[in-house]
Structure 1
Amino acid sequence: MARFDERWVDDEAGPIVRSYAVVRGRTQPRGVSLDLVTLLCATGREPPHDMRLSREESHMLALCWQPAAVADLASDLDLPLGVVKVLAGELCHRGLLEVHRPGRRMVQADQALLQRVLEDLKAL
Protein backbone atom coordinates (compact mmCIF):
# COMPACT_ATOMS: atom_id res chain seq x y z
CA MET A 1 0.00 0.00 0.00
CA ALA A 2 1.39 3.42 -1.00
CA ARG A 3 1.99 6.00 1.66
CA PHE A 4 0.18 9.33 1.37
CA ASP A 5 3.41 11.32 0.93
CA GLU A 6 5.00 8.86 -1.52
CA ARG A 7 5.78 10.30 -4.98
CA TRP A 8 5.31 8.07 -8.02
CA VAL A 9 7.64 10.10 -10.24
CA ASP A 10 10.45 12.55 -9.71
CA ASP A 11 10.70 16.12 -11.05
CA GLU A 12 12.54 14.92 -14.19
CA ALA A 13 9.56 12.87 -15.39
CA GLY A 14 7.50 15.91 -16.32
CA PRO A 15 3.74 15.94 -16.85
CA ILE A 16 2.07 12.55 -17.05
CA VAL A 17 -1.33 13.29 -18.60
CA ARG A 18 -0.48 16.43 -20.52
CA SER A 19 -1.13 15.17 -24.07
CA TYR A 20 -4.45 13.63 -23.11
CA ALA A 21 -5.50 16.80 -21.32
CA VAL A 22 -4.41 19.11 -24.15
CA VAL A 23 -6.69 17.35 -26.67
CA ARG A 24 -9.48 16.78 -24.14
CA GLY A 25 -9.35 13.04 -24.72
CA ARG A 26 -9.74 13.13 -28.50
CA THR A 27 -7.51 10.93 -30.63
CA GLN A 28 -8.43 11.87 -34.22
CA PRO A 29 -8.61 15.24 -35.99
CA ARG A 30 -12.10 16.38 -36.83
CA GLY A 31 -13.03 16.44 -40.51
CA VAL A 32 -9.62 16.94 -42.16
CA SER A 33 -6.92 14.52 -43.18
CA LEU A 34 -3.52 15.73 -42.01
CA ASP A 35 -0.14 14.13 -42.58
CA LEU A 36 3.41 15.19 -41.75
CA VAL A 37 3.81 17.54 -44.69
CA THR A 38 0.32 19.06 -44.79
CA LEU A 39 0.69 22.84 -44.84
CA LEU A 40 -1.58 24.86 -42.58
CA CYS A 41 -2.21 28.58 -42.73
CA ALA A 42 -4.17 30.90 -40.44
CA THR A 43 -7.31 32.33 -42.03
CA GLY A 44 -7.16 35.56 -40.04
CA ARG A 45 -10.66 35.07 -38.64
CA GLU A 46 -11.27 35.87 -35.01
CA PRO A 47 -12.28 32.95 -32.78
CA PRO A 48 -15.97 32.94 -31.84
CA HIS A 49 -16.69 34.62 -28.51
CA ASP A 50 -17.80 31.30 -27.01
CA MET A 51 -14.54 29.56 -28.03
CA ARG A 52 -11.70 29.69 -25.57
CA LEU A 53 -8.36 28.85 -27.19
CA SER A 54 -5.79 26.89 -25.23
CA ARG A 55 -2.25 28.19 -24.99
CA GLU A 56 -1.18 25.56 -27.53
CA GLU A 57 -3.93 26.53 -29.98
CA SER A 58 -3.05 30.22 -29.70
CA HIS A 59 0.61 29.45 -30.28
CA MET A 60 -0.28 27.25 -33.27
CA LEU A 61 -2.31 30.08 -34.83
CA ALA A 62 0.59 32.48 -34.34
CA LEU A 63 2.97 30.03 -36.05
CA CYS A 64 0.58 29.59 -38.98
CA TRP A 65 0.54 33.20 -40.19
CA GLN A 66 2.82 31.77 -42.83
CA PRO A 67 2.18 28.25 -44.14
CA ALA A 68 3.66 25.68 -41.75
CA ALA A 69 3.92 21.90 -42.06
CA VAL A 70 2.28 19.75 -39.39
CA ALA A 71 5.66 18.17 -38.55
CA ASP A 72 7.23 21.61 -38.06
CA LEU A 73 4.37 22.67 -35.81
CA ALA A 74 4.85 19.56 -33.66
CA SER A 75 8.52 20.41 -33.31
CA ASP A 76 7.95 24.12 -32.62
CA LEU A 77 5.20 23.43 -30.09
CA ASP A 78 7.14 20.54 -28.52
CA LEU A 79 4.03 18.35 -28.71
CA PRO A 80 3.47 14.84 -30.09
CA LEU A 81 2.37 14.69 -33.71
CA GLY A 82 -1.01 13.17 -32.83
CA VAL A 83 -1.78 16.04 -30.46
CA VAL A 84 -0.89 18.62 -33.10
CA LYS A 85 -3.13 16.87 -35.64
CA VAL A 86 -6.10 16.92 -33.24
CA LEU A 87 -5.59 20.58 -32.31
CA ALA A 88 -5.09 21.60 -35.96
CA GLY A 89 -8.17 19.64 -36.99
CA GLU A 90 -10.24 21.49 -34.41
CA LEU A 91 -8.90 24.85 -35.56
CA CYS A 92 -9.65 23.93 -39.19
CA HIS A 93 -13.15 22.84 -38.21
CA ARG A 94 -13.71 26.22 -36.51
CA GLY A 95 -12.44 28.09 -39.59
CA LEU A 96 -9.32 29.49 -37.92
CA LEU A 97 -6.84 27.39 -39.92
CA GLU A 98 -7.03 26.12 -43.46
CA VAL A 99 -5.11 23.50 -45.36
CA HIS A 100 -2.83 25.30 -47.79
CA ARG A 101 -2.78 23.41 -51.09
CA PRO A 102 0.03 24.19 -53.53
CA GLY A 103 -1.02 25.43 -56.96
CA ARG A 104 -0.98 23.19 -60.01
CA ARG A 105 2.25 24.74 -61.31
CA MET A 106 4.05 23.97 -58.05
CA VAL A 107 2.97 20.33 -58.21
CA GLN A 108 4.31 20.02 -61.77
CA ALA A 109 7.62 21.59 -60.71
CA ASP A 110 7.89 19.06 -57.90
CA GLN A 111 7.32 16.19 -60.34
CA ALA A 112 10.09 17.50 -62.60
CA LEU A 113 12.43 17.77 -59.64
CA LEU A 114 11.60 14.25 -58.51
CA GLN A 115 12.25 12.94 -62.02
CA ARG A 116 15.72 14.57 -62.05
CA VAL A 117 16.50 13.10 -58.62
CA LEU A 118 15.44 9.66 -59.83
CA GLU A 119 17.62 9.94 -62.91
CA ASP A 120 20.60 11.07 -60.83
CA LEU A 121 20.11 8.16 -58.41
CA LYS A 122 20.03 5.71 -61.29
CA ALA A 123 23.25 7.25 -62.62
CA LEU A 124 25.02 6.41 -59.37
Structure 2
Amino acid sequence: MTRGRTGGGEQQFDLIAVVVAEPPDPTLLPGVAEPVGPEQAHILALCRGTPLSVAELAADLDLPVGVVRVLLGDLLTAGLIRVRRPVPPALLPDERILQEVIRGLRAL
Protein backbone atom coordinates (compact mmCIF):
# COMPACT_ATOMS: atom_id res chain seq x y z
CA MET A 1 0.00 0.00 0.00
CA THR A 2 2.70 2.48 0.96
CA ARG A 3 5.53 0.99 -1.14
CA GLY A 4 7.76 0.88 1.93
CA ARG A 5 7.30 4.53 2.87
CA THR A 6 6.74 5.33 6.53
CA GLY A 7 5.92 9.05 6.50
CA GLY A 8 3.39 11.27 4.82
CA GLY A 9 6.12 13.22 3.06
CA GLU A 10 6.58 16.80 4.14
CA GLN A 11 2.97 16.87 5.29
CA GLN A 12 2.15 15.97 8.88
CA PHE A 13 -1.47 14.97 9.33
CA ASP A 14 -2.91 15.69 12.76
CA LEU A 15 -5.39 13.04 13.94
CA ILE A 16 -8.18 15.61 14.08
CA ALA A 17 -7.34 17.27 10.75
CA VAL A 18 -10.37 17.08 8.44
CA VAL A 19 -9.96 15.59 4.97
CA VAL A 20 -12.21 16.68 2.10
CA ALA A 21 -12.15 15.08 -1.36
CA GLU A 22 -11.79 17.51 -4.22
CA PRO A 23 -14.26 17.26 -7.10
CA PRO A 24 -13.16 14.77 -9.77
CA ASP A 25 -10.80 16.08 -12.42
CA PRO A 26 -12.92 17.22 -15.39
CA THR A 27 -10.12 16.24 -17.80
CA LEU A 28 -10.63 12.57 -16.94
CA LEU A 29 -12.91 10.73 -19.32
CA PRO A 30 -16.26 9.59 -17.87
CA GLY A 31 -15.95 6.16 -16.34
CA VAL A 32 -12.16 6.44 -16.00
CA ALA A 33 -11.08 6.26 -12.37
CA GLU A 34 -8.58 8.62 -10.84
CA PRO A 35 -5.00 7.30 -10.86
CA VAL A 36 -5.04 5.86 -7.33
CA GLY A 37 -4.90 2.48 -5.62
CA PRO A 38 -7.92 0.76 -4.08
CA GLU A 39 -7.27 2.09 -0.56
CA GLN A 40 -6.91 5.64 -1.82
CA ALA A 41 -10.05 5.26 -3.91
CA HIS A 42 -11.84 4.15 -0.74
CA ILE A 43 -10.55 7.26 1.08
CA LEU A 44 -11.85 9.47 -1.73
CA ALA A 45 -15.23 7.74 -1.68
CA LEU A 46 -15.53 8.20 2.09
CA CYS A 47 -14.53 11.88 1.96
CA ARG A 48 -16.78 12.79 -0.97
CA GLY A 49 -19.92 12.25 1.05
CA THR A 50 -18.72 13.83 4.25
CA PRO A 51 -15.46 15.40 5.42
CA LEU A 52 -13.74 13.05 7.88
CA SER A 53 -10.86 13.35 10.31
CA VAL A 54 -7.68 11.35 9.84
CA ALA A 55 -8.59 9.24 12.89
CA GLU A 56 -12.06 8.48 11.47
CA LEU A 57 -10.56 7.46 8.15
CA ALA A 58 -8.12 5.09 9.84
CA ALA A 59 -10.97 3.52 11.80
CA ASP A 60 -13.27 3.23 8.78
CA LEU A 61 -10.51 1.69 6.66
CA ASP A 62 -9.29 -0.54 9.51
CA LEU A 63 -5.72 0.57 8.77
CA PRO A 64 -2.99 1.96 11.02
CA VAL A 65 -2.89 5.75 11.20
CA GLY A 66 0.66 5.76 9.79
CA VAL A 67 -0.49 3.97 6.64
CA VAL A 68 -3.44 6.34 6.24
CA ARG A 69 -1.10 9.33 6.60
CA VAL A 70 1.12 8.02 3.77
CA LEU A 71 -1.91 7.45 1.53
CA LEU A 72 -3.26 10.91 2.34
CA GLY A 73 0.11 12.44 1.51
CA ASP A 74 -0.08 10.89 -1.96
CA LEU A 75 -3.65 12.13 -2.45
CA LEU A 76 -2.72 15.63 -1.30
CA THR A 77 0.26 15.74 -3.65
CA ALA A 78 -2.01 14.65 -6.51
CA GLY A 79 -4.48 17.44 -5.63
CA LEU A 80 -7.30 15.01 -4.94
CA ILE A 81 -7.96 16.10 -1.35
CA ARG A 82 -7.87 19.20 0.83
CA VAL A 83 -6.91 19.10 4.49
CA ARG A 84 -8.33 21.48 7.05
CA ARG A 85 -6.07 21.64 10.05
CA PRO A 86 -7.38 22.24 13.55
CA VAL A 87 -7.05 25.74 14.94
CA PRO A 88 -3.99 25.96 17.20
CA PRO A 89 -4.94 26.63 20.84
CA ALA A 90 -2.95 29.87 20.79
CA LEU A 91 -5.33 31.27 18.14
CA LEU A 92 -8.53 30.37 19.99
CA PRO A 93 -10.29 33.17 21.88
CA ASP A 94 -9.58 33.51 25.57
CA GLU A 95 -12.15 31.80 27.80
CA ARG A 96 -12.67 35.05 29.72
CA ILE A 97 -13.72 36.84 26.52
CA LEU A 98 -16.18 34.06 25.69
CA GLN A 99 -17.68 34.30 29.19
CA GLU A 100 -18.13 38.06 28.71
CA VAL A 101 -19.90 37.47 25.38
CA ILE A 102 -22.23 34.91 27.00
CA ARG A 103 -23.06 37.30 29.82
CA GLY A 104 -23.73 40.07 27.32
CA LEU A 105 -26.05 37.85 25.30
CA ARG A 106 -27.92 36.76 28.39
CA ALA A 107 -28.35 40.39 29.38
CA LEU A 108 -30.20 41.04 26.10
Q: TM-score, normalised by structure 1?
A: 0.60
Distance verdict in 2 for CA 1:48–1:35, change over 3 Å: farther
Match of 2:44 in 1: 61
Q: Is the 8 A contact 2:17 2:83 kept in 1?
A: yes
Helix, strand or coil: the match of 1:88? Answer: helix
AA of the residue aligned to 1:37: I
Q: Is the 8 A contact 1:40 1:69 kept in 2?
A: yes
Aligned partners of 2:80 and 2:92: how far apart in 1? 29
Residue 32 of structure 1: CA displacement? Answer: 1.6
For structure 2, the 5+ residue unaligned runs are 29-33, 100-108
Q: TM-score, normalised by structure 2?
A: 0.68
Q: Which structure has the bigger radius of gyration?
A: 1
For structure 1, the 5+ residue unaligned runs are 1-21, 117-124
Displacement over 3 Å in runs of 4+: none
- Higher RCO (CA < 8 A, seq sep 6+): 2
Helix, strand or coil: the match of 1:57? Answer: helix
Report how many aligned residue pairs link the two structures: 88
Residue 43 of structure 1: CA displacement? Answer: 1.1
Residue 52 of structure 1: CA displacement? Answer: 3.0
Distance verdict in 2 for CA 1:48–1:36, change over 3 Å: farther
Match of 1:71 in 2: 55
Q: Percent identity?
A: 41
Helix, strand or coil: the match of 2:68? Answer: helix
Match of 2:6 in 1: 27
Residue 44 of structure 1: CA displacement? Answer: 1.0
Helix, strand or coil: the match of 1:23? Answer: coil
